[in-house]
Amino acid sequence: MKFQRAYRYRFYPNEVQAQQLARTLGCARYVYNWGLEEQIKNRRDHGRILPYKDLAAQLKILKRQPETVWLCEVSSVVLQQSLRHLDTAYKRYFQKLSEKPTFKSRKGDQSCAYMANAFVYRDGQITLAKHREPLDIRWSRPLPDKAVPSSVTVTRTASGKHYISILVEESIEPLPASQQQLGIDLNAKELVLSNGIRYQTPKNLQRLEIRRRRYQRACRRKIAAAKKSLGLSPRAPLPKGSRLPVSNNLRKAWRKAGRVAERQANVRRDWAHKITTAIVRENQMVAMENLNVQGMTASARGTQEKPGKRVRQKAGLNRAVLNVGFGELRRQIEYKALWYGRQAVVIDRWYPSSQLCGACGFKHEKLTLKDRHWTCPNCQQRHDRDLNAARNILVAGQSMLQDEQNLYRGASRESKPVERVLVADRHQPDCTPTRREAGKIVCENDPARQP
């Protein structure tokens, strides 16, 4: 079966290309922010957002105005794609798949997209629109044979590096069927698998975090000095319409902090890809929890009337959770399972995987987060909290596969992750799993089982 797959490479532009890319990235960001401001005004005045066609028509008028005639210096396809990305962001927001679109900043990573009519791919080289020479790409791995790029995305990181992501359509063959199945328990320190293997988070992330904080403190000191030169307090916000004077030292400090942040992201991405690829290749079915990462990493600061407790401790826990990247691990397992003919099962977040005894099914409701090892009061079995949870998640995933056998048949490539509540009702504490039948955890006092 054919799938769309992106290949990312680093390239080194010459001085002319770097200047043209800087103009293109700035114009793409400006058009996105302009479109977002127009959507906010239209939604405030008329209660709806403009469709893409109306916004694209207004873009033509914007390019003819004397104040913004410099938008004609870049490819029109890039500007149209910025509006399409904004339209997609609003659609995802209304479908409750993402947060509300926000304005893009000139700090951090910048990116723009070129469709097939805005670049030329010939003899293994790519030439972008408004460029005279092809890009000097470091082909770290070859593209698939007879691959035709449908779009490319150019990214400039905060540290000044340039990358290009080439989207192609590729035929991926499914892997041979495996008899192994796996449950995954996620926590702030490590990834625990039901077969006893544990993957700890990279050690150098903490060292990089300390370095990043040091560089960010240097940035704040230079920003405070710039505010003092304007006669403002270091903590006072900038007046509307004013702009902070940016010195070369501040740009250097931003670049240093950006390099460390980019290094952190690369370490996390490399760690996640290696683990998820190994998991999907070795197991036919992978079961995991649908964790509420946003709720888990919420701040404990509270309000001025009701201040929070242990704010610094909660902030450290939040950083540890985000370092693991629960959402990214799940995303990679899902799409790799679809590629290679595996099955990914998502367990409901309210399933008490840590409280259930893996031997007899007894639910230990008094279990706390401090209890990393516990003994079952019913059968006296000693459990490692995380390993027991991973094994319970595996059993729950097997139960879901039995119930959804019409959706999961063999190694179907069209299989999608399923999320269901495995207990009768999470609001009914009387439903306590006490035994197992054919791989299922069964509630003896479940009202649905009563005659």
**Catalytic residue from among 145, 185, 365, 403:** 185
Q: Is 289 a catalytic residue?
A: yes
**Angstrom distance (rounded) from CA 240 to CA 161:** 32
**Catalytic residue from among 109, 386, 419, 446:** 386
Structure tokens that stand for 198 in this block: 């544990």
**Catalytic residue from among 289, 371, 404, 446:** 289
Cα angle for residues 238, 242, 246 (degrees, 5° grid): 85
Long-range pairs, 143-146, Cβ under 8 A, ≥24 = 143/7, 143/168, 144/168, 144/170, 144/171
Nearest to 336 by CA among 413, 254, 390: 413
**Angstrom distance (rounded) from CA 244 to CA 236:** 12
The DSSP code sequence of 144-174 is: PTT----EEEEEE-TTS-EEEEEEEEEE-PP
The DSSP code sequence of 304-367 is: SSSB-SSHHHHHHHHHHHHHHTHHHHHHHHHHHHHHTT-EEEEE-TT--TTTB-TTT--B-TT-
Contact (CB, 8 A) for 437 and 444: no
Structure tokens that stand for 187 in this block: 């926590």
Nearest to 190 by CA among 275, 109, 117, 102: 275
**Angstrom distance (rounded) from CA 254 to CA 336:** 35
Q: Is 99 a catalytic residue?
A: no
Q: Is 185 a catalytic residue?
A: yes
Structure tokens that stand for 130 in this block: 């408004």
**Angstrom distance (rounded) from CA 356 to CA 344:** 22
Q: How many residues does the chain have?
A: 451
Contact (CB, 8 A) for 390 and 183: yes
**Angstrom distance (rounded) from CA 73 to CA 394:** 56
Active site residues: 185, 289, 386
